[in-house]
């Protein structure tokens, strides 16, 4: 029996324009990813004591470069995965919305637990360092507004 759906997965109705709630979640996710990369770059090269300087003291110049290359590679894989899941959410996949919710909540919980742990950093650096986590958590909110629920097919909501 043909139900009119393709085997590629559940379909959701095409909206004449994208929902602003989904676009807001996408934009907040892009901002969170950008902020995550910015924090890494600032922490490694700009904010004293820089990660490069600290690693050089402990592992030498070549060891520090190797460690930062590994760290940058892990960050690149993490960011690529984050963007891939966010793109799936934007396409209407319910599982991606759930995954971004879990990540956003975890980031927020880790950030709250981290407040007050490191009093040596300047206040501005603590704020900048918290920005990606706060943006990731904020990206969850528009995905669950009533109008945004229509973007995710009912079948996918039951499976997720």
CB-CB contact of 142 with 32 (8 Å): no
pLDDT of amino acid 119: 58
13 pLDDT higher than 70: no
Higher-confidence residue: 72 or 1? 72
Higher-confidence residue: 77 or 151? 77
Nearest by Cα to 129 from 67, 19, 49, 38: 38
Higher-confidence residue: 139 or 51? 139
pLDDT of amino acid 118: 57
Q: C-alpha dihedral over 80, 12, 142, 37, to 10 degrees?
A: 10
Query: Three-state DSSP class for 23?
Result: helix
Distance of CA 123 to the CA centre of its chain: 23
Digit-coded pLDDT (tens) for 97-127 = 999 999 999 988 888 877 656 555 678 888 8
The Cα–Cα gap between 148 and 101 comes to: 14
pLDDT of amino acid 124: 85
86 pLDDT higher than 90: yes
Digit-coded pLDDT (tens) for 68-80 = 899 999 999 999 9
- Residue 135: count of CB within 10 angstroms of its CB: 21
CB-CB contact of 133 with 110 (8 Å): yes
Q: Give the lowest-confidence range in 23-27, 29-33, 71-75, 118-122.
A: 118-122
């Amino acid at each position: 029996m043909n139900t009119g759906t393709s085997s590629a997965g559940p379909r959701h109705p095409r909206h004449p324009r994208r929902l602003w709630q989904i676009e807001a979640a996408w934009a907040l996710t892009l901002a969170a990813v950008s902020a995550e990369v910015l924090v890494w770059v600032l922490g490694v090269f700009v904010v004293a004591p820089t990660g490069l300087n600290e690693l050089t003291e402990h592992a030498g110049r070549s060891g520090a470069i190797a460690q930062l290359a590994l760290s940058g590679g892990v960050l690149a894989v993490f960011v690529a995965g984050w963007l891939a899941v966010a793109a799936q959410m934007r396409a209407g996949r319910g599982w991606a919305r759930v995954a971004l919710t879990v990540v956003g909540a975890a980031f927020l919980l880790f950030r709250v637990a981290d407040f007050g742990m490191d009093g040596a950093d300047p206040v501005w650096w603590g704020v900048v360092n918290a920005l990606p986590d706060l943006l990731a958590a904020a990206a969850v909110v528009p995905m669950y507004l009533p109008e945004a629920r229509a973007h995710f097919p009912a079948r996918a909501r039951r499976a997720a």
